[in-house]
């Protein structure tokens, strides 16, 4: 555990718990991205999340809990599949969508009869949740639809004084949001890809999750346009990449290759070819390119393979048009 994280186990955690209990907002690190947290049982506090982010009222938020024993507070009729997945992947980057328990506020669920739940795999988040001893509603700590934050500084840049406290736990390990699986209607449905892949779900349950279901619940981060920089983003297939040489002037570039001699881009970032490292870096890279003074961001499209599915999903939603 880093000294920075260790220091957060004392006074700042107590301060954060006190802020949450009085209806305030606390940004905190998870292994995926930084979350903007509020007491999930306090409708006014949850409403403040929506107001600060500019989040549409019909877009649900994930409730973070500190241990599996809290599931029954939030979900009803917990299926065996949920128990299996929780045992395998919690704490970790997996959100389970279950039928919401009586008394769970509709402001958390976008008016739906389901609720998304997860136990994050980060020491600061876990300590906060266990000290708070309740559910913390926490979407990403940024303006709605924009690039998610993976450092405390990203949160401060995006939300500033609108957050009562930011717990700085360093850069997020994974860097993209959790996998979301719907278990509310029998057959599992993959609502959002993440580090935990469809194959991991299938191996645990003995059945592959459906990839599409028009009747599935709405889930965070699944709108057609999301995770977007302010500058337009264009995806370019690898076999078309040589054409970038002539159009990179004034652009920001994220590519698997080095910049050509005489490159005129405002910033060129050579990305990792390893999907987990690429995911860790992705939002920080997009933020750097977005603030480089470019008029457009050009991104070399990753391979269309299972281990790149979550990355392709995020880039597909971040691109323009």
| 84, pLDDT greater than 90 | yes
Name the helix (H) or strand (E) containing 192. strand 189-192
pLDDT band at residue 1, thresholds of 50, 70 and 90? very low
pLDDT digit string, tens, across residues 117-143: 999 999 999 999 999 999 999 999 999
pLDDT band at residue 9, thresholds of 50, 70 and 90? very low
Residue-wise DSSP of 25-59: -EEE--SSS-EEEEETT-HHHHHHHHHHHT--TTS
| Res 11: pLDDT | 62
| Res 212: pLDDT | 74
pLDDT digit string, tens, across residues 211-252: 877 777 787 767 767 889 999 999 999 888 877 767 778 899
What average pLDDT does range 106-118 have in this prediction? 94
d(CA 279, CA 283): 8
| Res 218: pLDDT | 80
pLDDT band at residue 82, thresholds of 50, 70 and 90? very high
Residue-wise DSSP of 253-301: EEESSPPPTT---SEEEE--SSHHHHHHHHHHHHHHHHTTT-S-EEEEP
Which long-range contacts (C-beta less than 8 Å, at least 24 apart) are formed by 48-57?
48/23, 49/25, 49/137, 49/138, 49/139, 50/107, 52/25, 52/159, 52/162, 52/163, 53/139, 53/142, 53/143, 53/144, 54/143, 54/144, 55/139, 55/144, 56/144, 57/107, 57/110, 57/111
Which long-range contacts (C-beta less than 8 Å, at least 24 apart) are formed by 269-272?
271/300
Beta bridge partners of 236: 300
pLDDT band at residue 3, thresholds of 50, 70 and 90? very low
CA dihedral for 163, 168, 171, 174, sign (positive or negative): negative
| Res 320: pLDDT | 65
| Res 60: pLDDT | 94
Could you tell me the residue ranges of all domains in the chain? 3-205, 233-318
Q: Which of 26-30, 262-266, 306-310 has the lowest mean pLDDT?
A: 262-266
Q: Which residues of 83-92 are buried (b: 16+ CB within 10 A; e: fewer)?
A: eebbeebbbb
pLDDT digit string, tens, across residues 32-71: 999 999 999 999 999 999 999 999 988 999 999 999 999 9
What average pLDDT does range 196-208 have in this prediction? 97
Q: Are 109 and 97 in contact (CB under 8 A)?
A: no
| 6, pLDDT greater than 50 | no
d(CA 175, CA 194): 10
Given the candidates 3.90.870.10, 3.40.50.300, 3.90.940.20, 3.40.1260.10, the CATH classification of the domain at 3-205 is 3.90.870.10
d(CA 82, CA 70): 13
| Tokens 């935990």 belong to residue | 196
| Res 222: pLDDT | 72
| Res 93: pLDDT | 99
Highest CATH level, class, for 233-318: alpha beta
For the record, the structure tokens of 229 come out as 């920089």
What average pLDDT does range 286-314 have in this prediction? 96
| 255, pLDDT greater than 70 | yes
| 2, pLDDT greater than 60 | no
Inter-helix orientation angle 152-159/275-290, to 10°: 30
């Amino acid at each position: 555990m880093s000294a920075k994280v260790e220091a957060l186990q004392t006074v700042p955690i107590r301060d954060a718990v006190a802020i949450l209990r009085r209806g305030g907002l606390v940004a905190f690190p998870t292994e995926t991205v930084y979350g903007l947290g509020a007491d999930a049982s306090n409708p006014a506090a949850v409403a403040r999340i929506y107001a600060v982010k500019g989040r549409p009222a019909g877009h649900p938020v994930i409730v973070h809990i500190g241990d599996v024993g809290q599931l029954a507070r939030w979900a009803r009729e917990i299926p065996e599949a949920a128990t299996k997945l929780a045992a395998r992947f919690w704490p970790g980057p997996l959100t389970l969508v279950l039928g919401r328990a009586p008394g769970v506020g509709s402001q958390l669920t976008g008016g739906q009869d389901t609720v998304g739940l997860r136990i994050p795999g980060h020491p600061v988040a876990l300590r906060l949740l266990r000290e708070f001893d309740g559910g913390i509603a926490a979407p990403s700590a940024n303006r709605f639809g924009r690039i998610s934050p993976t450092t405390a500084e990203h949160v401060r840049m995006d939300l500033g004084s609108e957050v009562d406290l930011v717990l700085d736990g360093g850069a997020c390990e994974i860097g993209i949001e959790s996998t979301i699986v719907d278990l509310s209607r029998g057959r599992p449905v993959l609502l959002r890809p993440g580090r935990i892949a469809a194959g991991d779900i299938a191996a645990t349950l003995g059945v592959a999750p459906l990839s599409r279901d028009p009747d599935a619940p709405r889930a965070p981060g699944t709108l057609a346009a999301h995770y977007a920089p302010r500058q337009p983003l264009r995806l370019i297939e690898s076999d078309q990449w040589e054409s970038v040489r002539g159009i990179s002037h004034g652009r920001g570039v994220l590519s698997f290759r080095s910049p050509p001699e005489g490159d005129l881009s405002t910033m060129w970032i050579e990305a990792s070819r390893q999907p987990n490292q690429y995911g860790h870096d992705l939002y920080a890279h997009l933020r750097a390119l977005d603030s480089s003074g470019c008029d457009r961001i050009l991104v070399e499209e990753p391979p269309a393979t299972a281990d790149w599915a979550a990355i392709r999903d995020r880039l597909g939603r971040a691109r323009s048009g």
